[in-house]
Chains A and B, each alone.
Chain A
């Protein structure tokens, strides 16, 4: 038996989330966000445990996660700076801002600074066009950004002055849901039981002779 990668607290929260859905797999994206909250990115160990929680293979978790821009299957900086360059921001100087950000942070778009502090991204429309050009740092919005205000923002982040506003990368929603479902109809319960039975069936089958015990199937 290997050690658990996700902490007991994260595991407890993960189980609460799974219980909100008629089918456990629906919890996949929320659980990936939760794992990123713990690790800053989506580690293979975390994906293996998420797979177990929702009853699919680690490969299926990886295959799903790679579809989504916010789920990082490689390590990222403490702060992911996403500069929107879509049409509304472009018309108001987004590419000039992105050029400035590259020079100011000393990294190329799509890369992380040597000290691991910043990852710079060129983002699609972030839906804050009233304050274009805009950017997000770990999905917190900053609008009407100028080269000067960008440098001030980077300094504040480096100095930890925005710790209360911008959590470290991966922390998406700091408000927890109070309690589980209250209604749970008959049909919902039946669906849940059917899914649980199917997962148990799969687990029993994979525990059969010659199956690799629990770890991710196949090589890396």
Chain B
């Protein structure tokens, strides 16, 4: 799948129909990384992960090694896996939990060993019924195989893994909301500080929360060594990454590509990747990194897929999703749909987010429906300013979590890039595209 000759780190087994089984996993080098890790000291494993600059694959891109090093020493601490993948157009963890659950389980045990925690929870998005079944099966098999549970592979190290289903709430992807949810409560993000669950997390104990894809890298890193991983990508963005490509492309899907050495153009147009835009249409805009990310236009298509490179250009790699919009797309409708999503998923704790998302959604809808007013663009930006003062990037926050400050991204992008299209909607009384 990669267009550079980078090895497949995360998707090496996807050619097999039985990629989710223990038999296939063992026949393809499975649990070798764990055996290697258990022969090292926990500190050496953590140092190895710190050395490769494994940036978190969930959305924030925080280095996993640094996150681990912040874990407060305490008698009880936890590892929690964030598998609540819900960022719009992000569907790579969905693939990993369904198609290679043992790779995740092995990653969890390696991380648990490095952190010396004895209980790990894998929180899987509730809607992933098959994924939950596959991960549960993998955990059962891993216990039987001696890779989870007491005295793993005779090393003396023990850890339990509990698979926990979510129940449908985008906000539970926010790590402190996820912990609340795991405690059996409404998924309300916690007030910061403390900024990191590494200080105060699950049940008030120190907790590391890592994304599914982040941990799924660990078996390969331990098996092949830090140098092999670091040789891929450039700068801080090392290794490969899964990109979920969606929208107006010939071949939507999840692609594993080498970071930085691959560009958005490669991803969208390469025949082995996106295959270009259908119907001979042109690229109008694309959204990197999920619904929370500012949009890019054709002039940014040659940017490399690197965290710092995309950040410097005013957006983010975020959750690794890329939504492509062709030149027939109504950007008002696109911005409206994303805003509607935030309105529905706002947890309701903070006024700017709870109220602002609804107002923005209604204004965008009336513009799309032909009831727009000339003052509406200013009003949209004014409300956006209350959510994220200055409407800059990265956004300023007025709410407990970043959901609220993310809402203006699509609106501000659409107005900045396609102001005339909004004005036509308002002047002509509706969407010219019908």
Residues of A that sit less than 8 Å from B by CB:
20-23, 25-30, 32-33, 54, 56, 63-65, 67-71, 85-88, 90-92, 124-132, 136, 138-141, 172-179, 181-188, 191
| CB proximity of B365 to chain A, nearest CB, Å | 13
| CB proximity of A170 to chain B, nearest CB, Å | 11
Q: Which residues of A contact B133 (CB under 8 A)?
A: 173-175
Complex contact B94–A127 (CB within 8 A): yes
How far, in whole Å, are A171 and B338 apart by their CA atoms in the complex?
30
Q: Can you give 11 A-B contacts (C-beta < 8 A)?
A: A64-B186, A65-B167, A87-B247, A88-B323, A124-B345, A129-B90, A129-B247, A136-B127, A177-B163, A182-B143, A183-B159
Using A23-B203, A25-B184, A140-B130 as known contacts, list a sample of 13 further A-B pairs with CB atoms less than 8 Å apart, ordered by residue number in A.
A33-B126, A68-B168, A86-B89, A87-B291, A87-B334, A87-B337, A91-B329, A130-B244, A131-B252, A172-B165, A177-B136, A187-B75, A188-B76
Q: Which residues of A contact B129 (CB under 8 A)?
A: 138-140, 172-173
Residue from B127, B183, B246, B334 in contact with A129 in the complex, judged by beta carbons closer than 8 Å: B246
B31: Cβ under 8 A from any A Cβ: no
How far, in whole Å, are A26 and B187 apart by their CA atoms in the complex?
12
Which residues of chain B from 324 to 341 have any CB-CB distance to chain A below 8 Å in the complex? 325, 329, 333-334, 337-338, 341
How far, in whole Å, are A86 and B139 apart by their CA atoms in the complex?
32
How far, in whole Å, are A129 and B245 apart by their CA atoms in the complex?
8
| CB proximity of A211 to chain B, nearest CB, Å | 24
How far, in whole Å, are A32 and B347 apart by their CA atoms in the complex?
20
Complex contact B130–A141 (CB within 8 A): yes
How far, in whole Å, are A127 and B126 apart by their CA atoms in the complex?
12
| CB proximity of A197 to chain B, nearest CB, Å | 16
Residue from B126, B150, B167, B186 in contact with A183 in the complex, judged by beta carbons closer than 8 Å: B150
B404: Cβ under 8 A from any A Cβ: no
Q: Which residues of B contact A126 (CB under 8 A)?
A: 127
Complex contact B149–A33 (CB within 8 A): no
Main secondary structure of the interface of A (DSSP, over half): loop
Complex contact A125–B165 (CB within 8 A): no
Residue from A63, A129, A141, A172 in contact with B252 in the complex, judged by beta carbons closer than 8 Å: A129
Which residues of chain B from 148 to 180 have any CB-CB distance to chain A below 8 Å in the complex? 149-150, 158-160, 162-170
Output the nearest chain A residue to B253 by Cβ-Cβ distance. Answer: A130
Q: Which residues of A contact B334 (CB under 8 A)?
A: 87, 90-91
| CB proximity of B98 to chain A, nearest CB, Å | 9
Q: Which residues of A contact B88 (CB under 8 A)?
A: 86-88, 124-125
Complex contact B165–A178 (CB within 8 A): no
Complex contact A173–B132 (CB within 8 A): yes
Output the nearest chain A residue to B338 by Cβ-Cβ distance. Answer: A87
| CB proximity of B88 to chain A, nearest CB, Å | 4
Residue from A140, A179, A186 in contact with B143 in the complex, judged by beta carbons closer than 8 Å: A179
Complex contact B140–A183 (CB within 8 A): no
**Given A125-B341, A182-B160; A172-B143 close (CB under 8 Å):** no
| CB proximity of B153 to chain A, nearest CB, Å | 14
Complex contact A91–B76 (CB within 8 A): no
Residues of B that sit less than 8 Å from A by CB:
75-76, 85-91, 93-94, 118-119, 125-130, 132-133, 136-137, 139-140, 143-144, 149-150, 158-160, 162-170, 181-187, 203, 244-248, 252-254, 287, 291, 321, 323, 325, 329, 333-334, 337-338, 341, 344-345, 347
Q: Which residues of B contact A63 (CB under 8 A)?
A: 186
Residue among B158, B169, B254 with most chain A CB within 10 A? B169
Complex contact B247–A91 (CB within 8 A): yes
Complex contact A177–B323 (CB within 8 A): no
Q: Which residues of A contact B333 (CB under 8 A)?
A: 90
Output the nearest chain B residue to A69 by Cβ-Cβ distance. Answer: B168
Residue among B246, B253, B334 with most chain A CB within 10 A? B246
Complex contact B246–A64 (CB within 8 A): no
Complex contact B341–A124 (CB within 8 A): yes
Residue among A21, A65, A125, A174 with most chain B CB within 10 A? A125
Complex contact A64–B76 (CB within 8 A): no
How far, in whole Å, are A140 and B126 apart by their CA atoms in the complex?
11
Q: Which residues of A contact B150 (CB under 8 A)?
A: 182-183
Q: Which residues of B contact A32 (CB under 8 A)?
A: 167
Q: Which residues of B contact A27 (CB under 8 A)?
A: 184
Q: Which residues of B contact A141 (CB under 8 A)?
A: 130
Q: Which residues of A contact B165 (CB under 8 A)?
A: 29-30, 33, 172-173
| CB proximity of A164 to chain B, nearest CB, Å | 13
Output the nearest chain A residue to B185 by Cβ-Cβ distance. Answer: A64
How far, in whole Å, are A48 and B154 apart by their CA atoms in the complex?
45
Q: Which residues of A contact B159 (CB under 8 A)?
A: 183
**Given A127-B91, A132-B252, A139-B127; A92-B247 close (CB under 8 Å):** yes
**Given A125-B86, A140-B130; A26-B168 close (CB under 8 Å):** no
**Given A21-B162, A87-B88, A127-B94; A177-B139 close (CB under 8 Å):** yes
How far, in whole Å, are A187 and B203 apart by their CA atoms in the complex?
12
How far, in whole Å, are A177 and B287 apart by their CA atoms in the complex?
39
How far, in whole Å, are A71 and B169 apart by their CA atoms in the complex?
11
How far, in whole Å, are A90 and B329 apart by their CA atoms in the complex?
10
| CB proximity of B287 to chain A, nearest CB, Å | 8
Output the nearest chain B residue to A31 by Cβ-Cβ distance. Answer: B184
How far, in whole Å, are A30 and B244 apart by their CA atoms in the complex?
29
Q: Which residues of B contact A127 (CB under 8 A)?
A: 85-86, 90-91, 93-94, 125, 127-128
Complex contact B246–A130 (CB within 8 A): yes
Residue from B87, B170, B183, B323 in contact with A91 in the complex, judged by beta carbons closer than 8 Å: B323
Q: Which residues of B contact A130 (CB under 8 A)?
A: 91, 244-246, 252-254
Complex contact B248–A91 (CB within 8 A): yes
| CB proximity of B130 to chain A, nearest CB, Å | 7
How far, in whole Å, are A139 and B132 apart by their CA atoms in the complex?
11
| CB proximity of A24 to chain B, nearest CB, Å | 8
Output the nearest chain B residue to A140 by Cβ-Cβ distance. Answer: B129
